[in-house]
Amino acid sequence: DAGITQSPRHKVTETGTPVTLRCHQTENHRYMYWYRQDPGHGLRLIHYSYGVKDTDKGEVSDGYSVSRSKTEDFLLTLESATSSQTSVYFCAISETQVGLDTQYFGPGTRLTVL
Amino acid sequence: AQKVTQAQTEISVVEKEDVTLDCVYETRDTTYYLFWYKQPPSGELVFLIRRNSFDEQNEISGRYSWNFQKSTSSFNFTITASQVVDSAVYFCALHYTGGFKTIFGAGTRLFVKA
């Protein structure tokens, strides 16, 4: 199993509160990703990183920001959480670009915004 | 437009039956990659297979087999002699090289009854 952990695993917060989710990997992989999973939508890419301090937006990036100051950590921040951000969030890693390599996923974080 | 369609929302079978999960994709790219992932009730995403657009060979792995047909833009997944442990949500995904994006289908929930 790929060494990917996510913290917290569950979180309940209130609308307007800032929230940070952490993804930690022990594989030294260059690429890291944040997805959200919602019923009927499968997984959708929020942001991704292709190296330390190198990040870019995915298809559903509004309301989210990310940071990567170390190879092993990729943080996802909801600056002011809204109920529409209630979801399950998955972190993924790949050694090279997806397609040339395979993405492996973390265990997920279930976030509820009240 | 890039798209992945898993038309079967839910499938229910009895143990030992064979079952095929359908995946139809759309892309204008000539180079692309297709994936299948399994999400058991515990919630993690498990990688099953990756196939590139130039390799139309079918693949078999134990009870699992995949049929890739570019002519019909399909990448179907068959489980032979299904078991209760196969109960999960299965996602088909497309990664196209024209953009840094992996598109997931909405998933097919498979119930295997004893």
Is the distance from CB of A42 to CB of B104 less than 8 angstroms?
yes
Alpha-carbon span B65 to B53, nearest angstrom: 17
The DSSP H or E segment spanning A48 is strand A42-51
Residue type, B42: S
B interface with A, Cβ–Cβ below 8 Å: 4, 31-33, 35, 37, 43-45, 47, 50, 52, 91, 93, 95-97, 100-102, 104-107
Alpha-carbon span A88 to B43, nearest angstrom: 10
Q: Quickly list DSSP for A87-113.
A: EEEEEEEESS-BTTB--EE---EEEEE
Alpha-carbon span B104 to B13, nearest angstrom: 24
Alpha-carbon span A41 to B9, nearest angstrom: 12
Strand B108-113 vs strand B10-14: parallel, antiparallel, or unpaired?
parallel
Alpha-carbon span A49 to B78, nearest angstrom: 34
What is the average per-residue pLDDT within B12-31? 95
Token couple for B88 = 């999960």
Query: A43 and B104: CB-CB below 8 Å?
Result: yes
Does pLDDT of B109 surpass 90? yes
Query: A99 and B33: CB-CB below 8 Å?
Result: yes
Give the per-residue pLDDT at B99: 60
A107: closest CA of chain B, how far (Å): 5
How does pLDDT run across B65-94, given as a tens digit for each residue? 999 999 999 999 999 999 999 999 999 999
Mean pLDDT estimate for chain B: 93
Q: Looking up tokens 């990729």, which residue turns up?
A: A74
How does pLDDT run across A34-56, given as a tens digit for each residue? 999 998 888 999 999 999 999 99
Give the per-residue pLDDT at B97: 73
Question: Which is nearest to B8 in space by CA: B22, B19, B18?
Answer: B22
Provide the residue-wise pLDDT of chain A in tens; the chain has 114 residues: 569 999 999 999 999 999 999 999 999 999 999 999 998 888 999 999 999 999 999 889 999 999 999 999 999 999 999 999 999 999 999 887 766 678 899 999 999 999
